[in-house]
Amino acid sequence: MASEPAWPPIGHEQLEWNPSPRAWATRAEAELVGRTISYSAAVPAFIATHDYVPGSGLASLAEEAALAITRFDSTIGAEIAPFSSILLRSEAAASSRIENLTASARAILSAEAGDTSKRNATQIAANTTSMRAALALASDLDADAILAMHEALMEGDERHKPGQWRDEPVWIGTGAVSPIGAEFVAPDSVRVPALIDDLMKYISRNDVPVLIQAAIAHAQFETIHPFTDGNGRTGRSLIQAMLHAKAVTRHVTVPVSAGLLTDTVGYHRALTAYRAGAPDAIVELIARSCFTALNNAHILVSDIEKARTRWRDVVKARKDSALWQVIDIASRQPVLNANVVAVELGVSATNVYRYLDQLVEAGVLQGFNIHRQGRFWRADEILRALDAFAARAGRRDRS
């Protein structure tokens, strides 16, 4: 007699699809209009009351990873709490990179400042906003919180209905033409609200080890695929929200996606295995990714501290000078303008130019212009540290 799977696998159902005409379409797409196409879609199980018991080795690994995150957060995280935005941006950029969205740190920070000339950078900046929304909503995780994360991510993109569940089929693979032969076809849109409500009940449980719960919740979310776009980024924001809600992190965002980036093929295989009733792979991958991400984050923190040490050596000012506050601001906001500094210091913008000029003269900052946004300043040493972090995250771990 065959043993029961460790987790309920997805089922399938036959659905019908009637492609709508579009003003611009390929010949293959146009030929489908007017036809009724039958396809097989996933039917995920409800998981709120299901229990998953990993092997002792995997359970220990997941617990080790959770404890490592907590130690990082309580030691290094507490020390650099004013610069937590740096790690949050790093996680947002890594999560976006999994979706093949890449940009330099300078481009991403410039996009945050209002430069919309680089599309990828603008989308990554939106992911940072989504991450912030996820953490702000962590204390009350429910379906509305998921919608708010997605709305923050997709703001302005009306093609994908920001903050709304999808009302059409979505699939992975075969391109945009048809769900026939797709690698994975998500469940019928009418199933999405109930599946999300069930997922949130699972997330609310307090009897599941946190990292295991986060890994399974993420895989279930990606299986539901509740939106027409932005599912991966929203789902990885959900991991961060859960770690915060369960008090694994309090001060900083641990860039778990930077760990996943070292094995994106394995990541997608693990999601496929989950759908077949085998959660071990996604739990193990996320646990191991935490250690990879923490090592990378340690190097980033060290690089930032080295830059700050050099700045303290070359800058000459009284101990009580506001110049030191401007240095702190530049550490966590390495692309900034006078208004950003003025708000932080609680003074008028005209009073901060002398500090910015001093830091340019000392080689700490470099001035530049953003089209239609005016004069900005950048801290190249911090930007190089962020780009180095991204390069390490994208390098496959062969250890």
Q: Are 95 and 257 in contact (CB under 8 A)?
A: yes
Domain 11-296: which CATH class?
A: mainly alpha
Q: Per residue in 222-263, pLDDT tens?
A: 999 999 999 999 999 999 999 999 999 988 889 999 999 989
CATH topology of domain 299-389: Arc Repressor Mutant, subunit A (1.10.10)
* Domain chopping of the chain, boundaries: 11-296, 299-389
Per-residue pLDDT at 80: 64
The answer, as to whether pTM is greater than 0.85, is yes
Per-residue pLDDT at 81: 54
Per-residue pLDDT at 399: 37
Per-residue pLDDT at 259: 92
Per-residue pLDDT at 78: 62
Per-residue pLDDT at 28: 66
**Distance between CA atoms of residues 253 and 241, nearest Å:** 9
**Distance between CA atoms of residues 110 and 227, nearest Å:** 28
Cα torsion at 358, 362, 365, 369 (round to 10°)?
A: 60
Q: Per residue in 110-169, pLDDT tens?
A: 998 888 889 999 999 999 999 999 999 999 999 999 999 999 999 887 788 899 999 999
Per-residue pLDDT at 1: 38
Closest by CA position to 22, among listed 176, 210, 138, 145: 176
Within 8 A by CB and 6+ apart from 72, the residues are 252, 254, 294, 297, 298
Tell the residue number behind the tokens 């995780």, with chain if given.
141
Which CB contacts under 8 angstroms, 24+ apart, belong to 314-318?
A: 314/362, 314/363, 314/364, 315/358, 315/359, 315/362, 315/364, 316/362, 317/358
For a pLDDT cut of 90, what percent of the chain falls above it? Answer: 72
Tell me the H-state helices in 27-142.
27-32, 56-72, 78-79, 84-98, 105-112, 119-136
Query: What single-letter DSSP state applies at residue 234?
Result: H
**Distance between CA atoms of residues 8 and 318, nearest Å:** 65
Phi, psi of 19 (to 5 degrees): -60, 135
Per-residue pLDDT at 31: 66
From first to last of its 399 residues, the chain has per-residue pLDDT tens of 344 557 999 999 999 877 766 645 567 666 667 677 788 999 999 999 999 999 999 999 999 999 999 999 988 766 665 568 888 899 999 999 999 999 999 999 999 888 888 999 999 999 999 999 999 999 999 999 999 999 999 988 778 889 999 999 999 986 666 787 789 999 999 999 999 999 999 999 999 999 999 999 999 999 999 999 999 999 999 999 999 999 999 888 899 999 999 899 999 999 999 999 999 999 999 999 999 999 999 999 999 999 999 999 999 899 999 999 999 999 989 999 999 999 999 999 899 999 999 999 999 999 999 877 889 999 999 999 999 999 998 765 443
Tokens of 249: 């992190």
Tokens of 102: 């890449």
Phi, psi of 117 (to 5 degrees): -75, -20
